[in-house]
């Protein structure tokens, strides 16, 4: 297995973490777009249902003067049926949009988990770097202490000899 210098690993982990963060942001935007699409379709669906209910209430309103009942009633019923078909199509679109939203939310959750894993690996590497620096500082301090002890021993020995 090839070993890389610590600084190279730190840069690589930082790059991977940043890529994971950008992926999370992209997935968040996609999920938001899906939520907005669902809200838009729900609004259209509610509008269609309201219009259909309104037209059903006015189904038996008297026709305009000079128009016979049967064609007016038939036209109104056809329009109510058309609104019903449009509402059904909007309901199907809403279900598809909700499925896309669920998929986008799953993808977002997976991207978040990948980011947290990448961040944890980067943090662990930084911690390892900190521990290495501490070890190096401790070794250097021990060397200085040993050198000071050797110097004191040399002075003591130098005084004792004539």
Q: What is the DSSP letter of 60?
A: T
Strand ranges in 21-154 using DSSP code E only, listed in sequence order:
none
Classify residue 61: in a domain, yes or no. Answer: yes
Classify residue 16: in a domain, yes or no. Answer: yes
Angle formed by the axes of helices 6-57 and 69-160, nearest 10°: 160
Structure pTM? Answer: 0.73
User: How many other C-beta atoms can be found within 10 angstroms of the C-beta atom of residue 20?
Assistant: 20
62-104 pLDDT, tens digit each: 888 888 989 999 999 999 999 999 999 999 999 999 999 999 9
- Report whether 94 contacts 46 (CB < 8 A): no
- Report whether 108 contacts 87 (CB < 8 A): no
- Per-residue pLDDT, averaged over 121-150, amounts to 89
Classify residue 154: in a domain, yes or no. Answer: no
116-127 pLDDT, tens digit each: 999 999 999 889
Classify residue 54: in a domain, yes or no. Answer: yes
Query: Domain residues for 39?
Result: 6-120
Classify residue 1: in a domain, yes or no. Answer: no
Classify residue 129: in a domain, yes or no. Answer: no
Question: CATH no. for residue 96?
Answer: 1.10.287.1700
Per-residue pLDDT band for 105 (boundaries 50, 70, 90) equals very high
User: How many other C-beta atoms can be found within 10 angstroms of the C-beta atom of residue 144?
Assistant: 10
User: How many other C-beta atoms can be found within 10 angstroms of the C-beta atom of residue 62?
Assistant: 8
């Amino acid at each position: 297995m090839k070993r890389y210098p610590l600084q190279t690993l730190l840069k690589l982990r930082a790059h991977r973490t940043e890529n994971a963060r950008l992926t999370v942001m992209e997935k968040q935007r996609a999920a938001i777009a899906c939520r907005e699409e669902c809200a838009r379709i729900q609004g259209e669906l509610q509008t269609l249902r309201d219009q259909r209910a309104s037209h059903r209430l006015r189904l038996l309103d008297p026709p305009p003067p000079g128009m016979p009942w049967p064609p007016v009633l038939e036209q109104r019923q056809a329009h109510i049926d058309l609104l019903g078909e449009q509402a059904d199509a909007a309901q199907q679109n809403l279900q598809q949009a909700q499925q896309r939203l669920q998929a986008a939310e799953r993808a977002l959750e997976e991207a978040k988990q990948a980011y947290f894993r990448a961040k944890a690996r980067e943090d662990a590497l930084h911690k390892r770097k900190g521990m290495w620096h501490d070890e190096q500082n401790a070794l250097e301090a021990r060397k200085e202490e040993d050198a000071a002890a050797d110097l004191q021993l040399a002075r003591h020995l130098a005084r004792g000899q004539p």
